[in-house]
Amino acid sequence: MVDPSSQDLSRLTAVALRDALASGELSAREATSHFLSAIETRNRQLGAFVTVTAEQAFTDATAADKLHAKLIREGRPEKLPLLHGMPIAFKDLTDVAGVPTTHGSAALEHKPAPEDGALAAALKDQGVISLGKTQVPEFGLTAYSENRVAPPSRNPHSLARSSGGSSGGSAAAVAAGLVPFAPGTDGGGSIRIPAGACGLVGLKPGRGLVPSGASAGDAAKLVVAGPLARTAADAALLMDALVPQHQAPDGGYLANVGRAPEPLRIGVSLDSPWAGVYPFGVEPEAMDALERGAELLEKTGHSLTEAEIRYDNRYPEAFTTAWTAGVGSARIAPQREALLTPLTRTFRRRAQQRSAVKVNEALGFLRQFEHDTVTQYSAWDVILMPTLAQTPRPIGWFTGGGHSGEPWPSEWAGDADEDYKRQCEYAPWSSMVNVCGLPAISIPVHTTAAGLPMGIQVIGRMGSELLLLQLAAALETP
| Residue 4 binned pLDDT confidence (cut-offs 50, 70, 90) | low
Residue 61: how many CB atoms within 10 A of its CB? 22
In angstroms, the CA 459 to CA 271 distance is 13
Are the C-beta atoms of residues 159 and 405 closer than 8 Å to each other? no
SS3 (DSSP) at 465: helix
% pLDDT > 70, the chain? 95
**Active-site annotation holds for 133:** no
Largest Cα–Cα separation, the chain: 65
Mean pLDDT of all residues in the chain? 95
243-276 in b/e form (b: 16+ CB < 10 A) is beeeebbeebbbebbeeebeebebbbbbbbbbbe
Half-sphere exposure at residue 44, Cβ-oriented, CA atoms within 13 angstroms: 3
Give the separation between CA 60 and CA 269, rounded to whole angstroms. Answer: 47
Catalytic residue among 27, 33, 91, 431: 91
Q: What is the mean pLDDT of residues 105-124?
A: 97
Element (H, E) at 132: strand 129-134
pLDDT value, residue 401: 65
Between the alpha carbon of residue 396 and those of residues 144, 146, 149, 168, the distances in Å are: 9, 8, 15, 14
Q: What's the rounded mean pLDDT across residues 163-175?
A: 98
Is the pLDDT reported for residue 70 higher than 90?
yes
Query: So what's the pLDDT on residue 412?
Result: 46
Radius of gyration of the chain (CA): 21
Average pLDDT over residues 339-355: 96
Provide CB contacts within 8 A for 15, sequence distance 6+: 231, 233, 234, 237, 254
What pLDDT, on a 0 to 100 scale, did the predictor assign at position 217? 79
Can 91 be counted among the known catalytic residues? yes
Q: Residues of the chain with pLDDT > 90: what percent?
A: 93
Per-residue pLDDT at 206: 98
Is 414 a residue whose pLDDT tops 80?
A: no
Which residues on neighbouring strands pair with residue 140, listed in sequence order?
none
Domains of the chain from N-terminus onward: 8-475 (3.90.1300.10)
pLDDT tens figures, 254-294: 999 999 999 999 999 999 999 999 999 999 999 999 999 99
Q: Tell me if residue 166 is catalytic.
A: yes
Give the whole-angstrom CA distance, residue 208 versus residue 204: 11
Q: What is the pLDDT of residues 211-239, one digit of tens each?
A: 877 676 798 999 999 999 999 999 999 99
| pTM > 0.85: yes or no | yes
The pLDDT of residue 213: 72
From 145, 153, 190, 272, active-site residue: 190
> Could you tell me if 394 and 160 are in contact, meaning their C-beta atoms sit under 8 angstroms apart?
yes
pLDDT digits (tens, 9 = 90+) for 179-200: 999 999 999 999 999 999 999 9
Sheet of 382-386, strand order: 181-186, 224-229, 201-204, 440-447, 453-459, 382-386, 265-268, 303-306
pLDDT value for 405? 45
Among candidate residues 319, 124, 327, 295, the one with its CA nearest the CA of residue 216: 327
For helices 284-299 and 465-475, the axis angle rounded to 10 degrees is: 100
SS3 306: strand
Does the pLDDT of residue 8 top 90, yes or no? no
- Out of 105, 153, 162, 166, the active site residue is 166
Which whole number is the average pLDDT over 40-68? 98
Q: Residue range 417-424: average pLDDT?
A: 97
